[in-house]
A and B are shown apart, each in its own frame.
Chain A
Amino acid sequence: MASAPENEKNASAPEKKTLTLKSMINNEEFVVDEHVALQSVTIKNMVDSDCAGDVIPVPTISGEILALVIEYCKNHANPSASEDDLKKADAGIVAKDIYTLIDLVLAANFLDIKGLLEVTSQKIADSIKDLPHQDVREIFGVENDYTPEEEAAVRAEHDWAFEGFP
Chain B
Amino acid sequence: MEERESEEREAKIFEDLCPELMEVVLSRVPLVTRTRLKCVSKSWRHLITSLRHSSPQTTSSGLVIFSKKVEPNVHQSSLIEVRDHQDCNLYDSFRHKFPWLVDSCNGLLLYANKENNNNWTYCISSPLLNQWLILPQRPKSWILVRETIAFDGHNPFKIICFSSQEVDFSAGKVSCQIFLSQTWKWKEDELTLLNSNLLLERECCYMDWFGPSVYSSGRLYWAWCSSMLVFYEDSELFKLVRLPKSKTTKKCTKYPLYLRLWASEGRIHYCEATQEGYCIWIYLNDDDDDEYEWQAKRSIMLDRSIEVVLWVNKTMKARVGEGMIQPCAFNEDLQVLYFQVPPGSIVSYSFETQKMEKVWDYGKPGEDYFMSHVFPFLFNSVNLVSKDMSN
Contacts and interface: CB of A to CB of B under 8 A. Distances in A.
Interface of A: 102, 105-106, 109, 117, 121-122, 124-126, 128-130, 132-133, 136-146, 151, 154-155, 158, 160-165
| Residue among B26, B42, B335 facing the most chain A CB atoms (10 A cut-off) | B42
A142 B45 CA distance: 12
A128 B37 CA distance: 10
A128 B25 CA distance: 10
Give me the 7 closest cross-chain CB pairs, A-B, nearest first: A141-B10, A125-B28, A161-B35, A164-B297, A164-B282, A133-B39, A129-B33
B88 interface: no
A143 B21 contact: no
B40 A160 contact: no
Contacts of A102: 13, 17
Contact of A124 (B25, B30, B39): B25
A141 B39 CA distance: 14
Given A126-B28, A160-B351, 20 more contacts: A105-B17, A106-B17, A106-B21, A121-B28, A122-B28, A124-B25, A125-B29, A129-B33, A132-B36, A133-B39, A137-B40, A138-B10, A139-B10, A140-B14, A141-B14, A142-B14, A145-B41, A154-B38, A158-B39, A160-B335
B16 A106 contact: yes
B38 A144 contact: no
12 contacts: A105-B17, A121-B21, A125-B29, A130-B265, A141-B11, A142-B43, A151-B39, A158-B38, A160-B298, A161-B35, A164-B295, A165-B36
B314 interface: no
Interface residues of B, number: 43
A35 to B, nearest CB: 26
Contact of B25 (A121, A133, A141, A145): A121
Contacts of A109: 21
